[in-house]
Amino acid sequence: MLRIESLVKKYPTGDIALQGVNLEVPDGQVMALIGPSGAGKSTLIRCINRLVEPTSGHIWLNKQDLAQLKAAQLRRARRKIGMIFQEYALVERLTVMENVLSGQLGYVNFWQSWFRRFPQHTIDEAFRLLERVGLGSFPDKRADALSGGQRQRVGIARALLQNPDLLLVDEPTASLDPKTSRQIMRLICELAQERQLSVIVNIHDVLLAQMFAQRIVGLQSGEIVYDGSPDSLTSDVLTNIYGEEDWAVTSEDDQEPEPTKSPAYEAMVQEVQR
């Protein structure tokens, strides 16, 4: 379980990105983090694994306060925190398998990582994960030859090879088409249940969040202004999170209308039908 207590992040400029955030994410739960740009979503995720240093507060992962760890302790703790990035963060010239195996770099010594010599059980698990994410036939393909959805699947497999207790996911669908976005979100949710992972997904697509997440947390100016079920995310709640907008408009309503047919076109059709 992840538990955050009174988390504050204040930048040297005086800007406050997080204002006393309190949050719990139990094992096996997929929580979507929504809010406008600048609300503190990415800062919150990066404070958890301390890619951004929190100003104050506590971040408990199981029984360990991540916010208080020194460098060596933090390196060990990060083994249990998987991270999936918006821009994939793959090494383009390496193969799919080499990128996945990089998820184990925190567990091997320098020379093993330098020569990419991993234990056989690690390699076997990497193959199993590639099968699970739908890339079983791609281990030797270079990362720069993959589509966006395939790259994201490599990132998921790499994160899971760490055998994490917590998965942090930063805008996993921002560069993907609608169908692939649904597939990636569905895969993340299925893996979270299979492995009983706590998952936080920073996502801008509210409809995707409602479709797949078990819980939604809305941030506004570094504060939690909503914490509840997807079904309770009403127009009033969305207005409180994002501001005034016609939230009753659905995705279908946003589609382009059919072009208006001219009188000449209608007359031609009538003539043909006579």
Q: What pLDDT, on a 0 to 100 scale, did the predictor assign at position 271? A: 45
Residue 139 in tokens: 């281990």
> Side chain identity at 133, as an amino acid letter?
V
- Measured in whole angstroms, the distance separating CA 231 from the mean position of its chain's CA atoms is 21
- C-alpha 76/C-alpha 117 separation (Å) is 20
φ and ψ at residue 145, rounded to 5 degrees = -100, 5
pLDDT digits (tens, 9 = 90+) for 133-186: 999 999 999 999 999 999 999 999 999 999 999 999 999 888 889 999 999 999
In this structure, is the dihedral angle defined by the CA atoms of residues 53, 56, 59 and 60, taken in order, positive or negative? positive
User: Spelled out in words, what is the top-level CATH class assigned to the domain 2-248?
Assistant: alpha beta
pLDDT digits (tens, 9 = 90+) for 179-224: 999 999 999 999 999 999 999 999 999 999 999 999 999 999 999 9
Q: What pLDDT, on a 0 to 100 scale, did the predictor assign at position 107? A: 60
In this structure, is the dihedral angle defined by the CA atoms of residues 220, 204, 175 and 191, taken in order, positive or negative? positive
Indicate the length of the chain as a whole number: 274
Residues 6+ apart with CB under 8 A from 52: 9, 43, 46
Whether the model pTM is above 0.85: no
